[in-house]
Homo-oligomer: A and B are copies of this chain.
């Protein structure tokens, strides 16, 4: 007679943990800066080595649906946190980048988020944190979640 302990079942544990961690961070970007997760992902992508990229690129490498990214970009445009410029080579897409105001918000937000992450992981030793990151990496890799940046990049620079 098969049985399953939900509390030892990795998929359930990952879901619950991710929800809890997201809730812990939401107070930073939502309550303090009025951002939701998709909007934060747009800023995060533009803020790290991708100063001007398309919405599609952001959707790909954050694994977020393009309609969700589209709405996030619309909201960020309205708040003048990002701007978009026409891509002469391909007029279907727009190149997105943070405005000065967007960068200012980003600069203030990042240290707060890093601090929150540190708090959450502070129950682990430095060695355990590294181990945890590596194990996550192995699972991500086997699920095909890792190479999105490189592949996206190689697939035409976006």
Binding site for B on A (CB under 8 A): 1-22, 24-25, 37, 41, 44-45, 47-49, 62-63, 107, 110-111, 113-114, 116-117, 120-124, 128, 131-133, 135-136, 138-143, 145, 149
A111-B2, A139-B120 known; A63-B16 Cβ under 8 A: yes
Q: Please give, as numbers and ranges, the residues of chain B lying within 8 Å of A142 by CB-CB distance.
A: 120, 122-123
Judge whether B18 and A18 touch: CB under 8 Å. Answer: yes
Query: Given A19-B63, A123-B142 in contact, is the A135-B133 Cβ separation under 8 Å?
Result: no
Q: Identify A2's interface contact among B9, B45, B110, CB under 8 A.
A: B110
Query: In the complex, what's the smallest C-beta–C-beta distance from A105 to chain B, in angstroms?
Result: 12
What secondary structure prevails in chain A residues at the interface with B?
A: helix
Nearest neighbor of A44 in chain B, beta-carbon distance: B6
Give the docked Cα–Cα distance between A40 and B7 (Å): 13
Copies of this subunit: 2
> What separation, in Å, do the CA atoms of A132 and B124 have in the docked complex?
12
Q: Which of B4, B113, B117, B122 contacts A114 (CB 8 A)?
A: B4
CB-defined contacts of A8 to chain B, threshold 8 Å: 133
CB distance from A113 to the nearest CB of B (A): 7
In the complex, 27 of the A-B residue pairs with CB atoms within 8 angstroms, ordered by the A residue number, are A1-B107, A2-B111, A4-B44, A4-B110, A4-B113, A5-B49, A7-B149, A9-B44, A9-B117, A11-B18, A11-B21, A11-B22, A11-B25, A12-B62, A13-B140, A14-B18, A14-B136, A15-B18, A15-B22, A17-B140, A18-B18, A18-B19, A24-B143, A122-B142, A123-B139, A131-B135, A135-B135
